[in-house]
Structure 1
């Protein structure tokens, strides 16, 4: 597994690197001291895993994750219990409290290896579109979530923001629907209209609608109008 350590403290990076030397399955390909540096290194190396300090100057670990299109496995590293608790609130893979204990690290590494074997995400393919198996990080104010895209039933444009529909929540992210549409796999997601992108695996019912359009009902009850312009493409995609 390729990994990047992201921590503004040199001694913390050195300590973790030293501890990981006994775990040959994990290869440290780079180290970053801040979020901006980490963004470049993640884009360059496409790691399977990042060890991420939560509290860093200027941008936190959560801020960094919010800027990534595709999120690798994440293990938070922190010296504070309060951040560890928040890490679990955002459904992180796991966390390590500083100073890191060797036994605790060994357990986390074993979990990582088990998860990596199950994963269908292939590293080293930066041009690959975001599909159902990819994980993204959603940050809305102080609330954060890791979400697999197969859980997202719909994206809805709301001004300069996008509303993300998954589970029972609808957090807002500061992105444009056009930019998101370019990154999503068209086999998995469909641009229904100027305001909506839907997850095709969530489609439950399709009905004719006004002016040659369609009304699509998703599992769970959400309804989305497919514009007349997009209706023929949708029928072709769904083999209607």
Structure 2
């Protein structure tokens, strides 16, 4: 797996690189000292894994994740105990407390390899659309989540924000629905109207609606209206 180390402390980066030499399954493809530098490297190198410091000058590790459209596997590295619980709150794969112990790193590597086995390998292109196997980072106030797009049943526009529906959560992210629609794989997500994008794998029922439109029922009970303009395209996609 191709890994990027993100840490503002040079000695911390070098120490982790040294420890990773004992784990041939992990290839360190780069190191970054801040979030902005890491963002550029992630866009260029497309790593499978981030070893990510949380507290850095400028943007934090969490703010870096908010900048990404699709988030690789993440292992937080931190010297602060108070951040450990937050790392689990956002469903990170693992966290490593500095100074990193070789035995603890070995445990983390095993989790990484197991996760990689479970995940279908995807060859990423620069213009790859986001599909059901991708995960995104969502932050709303003090709460954070890593969310697999397969678990997101729909997106709803709300002014300059988008409400993301997954599990019992509906956090808001600052992004336009048009911008999001351009990044999502249209084979998995459908623009039902100017206000909604639905995950096609969550569609449970369809019925005729007013003015030639459709009403879509999603697993869990949510209902979304498909505009008349989009109804014909939706019927074709769903083979009605």
Q: Distance in 2 between matches of 1:180 and 1:124?
A: 18
1:165-206 deviation line (CA, Å, top 9, x unaligned): 000010000111011001101110000000000000111111
Residue in 2 aligned with 1:100?
100
Following superposition, the deviation at residue 58 of structure 1 comes to: 1.7
CA RMSD of aligned residues (A): 0.9
Q: 1:50 to 1:167 in 2, by over 3 A?
A: same
1:38-73 deviation line (CA, Å, top 9, x unaligned): 111001011010000011112111111011011100
Does residue 50 (structure 1) correspond to residue 50 (structure 2)? The answer is yes
TM-score when normalising by structure 1: 0.98
Q: Distance in 1 between matches of 2:13 and 2:123?
A: 23
DSSP 3-state at the match of 1:82: helix
Q: Distance in 2 between matches of 1:121 and 1:160?
A: 34
DSSP 3-state at the match of 1:4: strand
Following superposition, the deviation at residue 123 of structure 1 comes to: 4.5
Map residues 94-173 of structure 1 onto 2, 5 A cutoff: 94-173=94-173
Q: 1:82 to 1:149 in 2, by over 3 A?
A: same
Q: Distance in 2 between matches of 1:218 and 1:54?
A: 37
Following superposition, the deviation at residue 154 of structure 1 comes to: 0.3
Does residue 70 (structure 1) correspond to residue 70 (structure 2)? The answer is yes
Residue in 2 aligned with 1:18?
18
Following superposition, the deviation at residue 118 of structure 1 comes to: 2.1
Q: Distance in 2 between matches of 1:201 and 1:56?
A: 39
Following superposition, the deviation at residue 114 of structure 1 comes to: 1.6
Following superposition, the deviation at residue 128 of structure 1 comes to: 1.5
1:216-237 deviation line (CA, Å, top 9, x unaligned): 1111111111000000000000
Following superposition, the deviation at residue 126 of structure 1 comes to: 2.7
Residue in 1 aligned with 2:188?
188
DSSP 3-state at the match of 2:52: strand
Following superposition, the deviation at residue 28 of structure 1 comes to: 0.6
DSSP 3-state at the match of 1:207: strand
Is 1:48–1:123's contact at 8 Å kept on the other side of the alignment?
A: no
Aligned pair count reads 240
DSSP 3-state at the match of 2:215: strand
Residue in 1 aligned with 2:36?
36
TM-score when normalising by structure 2: 0.98
DSSP 3-state at the match of 2:104: helix
Is 1:192–1:226's contact at 8 Å kept on the other side of the alignment?
A: yes
Unaligned runs of 5+ in 2: none
